[in-house]
Each structure stands twice: as structure tokens, then as C-alpha cells.
Amino acid sequence: AQKVTQAQTEISVVEKEDVTLDCVYETRDTTYYLFWYKQPPSGELVFLIRRNSFDEQNEISGRYSWNFQKSTSSFNFTITASQVVDSAVYFCALRGGGGAQKLVFGQGTRLTINP
């Protein structure tokens, strides 16, 4: 069975601090896909990144970076120089390699950036 654990329920930091959101996953599939989504107060889930299991390269996009480590089954997300607009709930999600595999979400981490 697929499982995603986001151990941090809530994080609160002051603006301009760096913050890392943890994601640990479980799967027996050799091919799988990992995702991060942002859910701002408006409620709409916004796609941030997708990683497949064969691509362990870390990725940076502006102030966002992702660290994928298969050895520890982790896919962590770091926001550098956080801003108030980064305040949201962030979800990590996992999908197996089969055609009908569902997207399994973690419980989410509520991130609050204080001015």
C-alpha cells in the first residue's frame, strides 16, 4: 500500500527565514511519482512539482527547492527567504506506476509566515 507521512502538522516562522517541509513515503513500486501541492486559504490545490522515481536530481525553482532521497524515502521541500504569501497548507503526494494507481496525499503541513 502507498503511504505518505508529513510529520509536521504546523510550522510558524518569521518572514525571510528558511523553512523545510518534510515528506516521507512508503511504496513497493519500483516506478512511482512524487508531487507537492500548495493549498492557499482560497482552497484550490496548486501543483508545484512532480518527480519520478528514476530522477533523484534535486530541483530549484526560484526560492523553492526539493530534495529527493530514495535511500531515506524522503522528498523534502525547502522555501528560502520565506514570504507572507507562502502561507498555506502544503501537501506531499505519491502515485504508483500502474495506470489506475490513485494519488495518495499526506495529511498536509500548515505553514504560517509571520511578518
Longest dimension (CA), the chain: 44
Q: Is 38 in the site for another protein (CB under 8 A)?
A: no
Residue 85 or 100 with smaller CB distance to another protein: 100
Which positions from 56 through 85 interact with another protein, judged by CB under 8 A?
Answer: none
Q: Is 41 in the site for another protein (CB under 8 A)?
A: no
DSSP structure class, residue 98 = S
Alpha-carbon distance values, 43 to 28, 57, 83 (Å): 32, 30, 19
Question: CA triplet 50, 87, 7: central angle to 5 degrees?
Answer: 65
- Applying CB under 8 A, which part among 18-26, 60-68, 70-78, 99-107 lies near another protein? 99-107
DSSP structure class, residue 70 = G
Bridge partners of residue 11, in order along the sequence: 111
Q: Is 1 in the site for another protein (CB under 8 A)?
A: no
Q: Please report where in the chains the cell 513497493 appears, as a residue.
A: 28
Residue 24 or 103 with smaller CB distance to another protein: 103
Judged by CB under 8 A, which of 41, 62, 99, 115 binds another protein? Answer: 99
Q: Which residues bind another protein (CB under 8 A)?
A: 4, 33, 35, 37, 42-47, 50, 52, 91, 93, 95, 97-103, 105-108
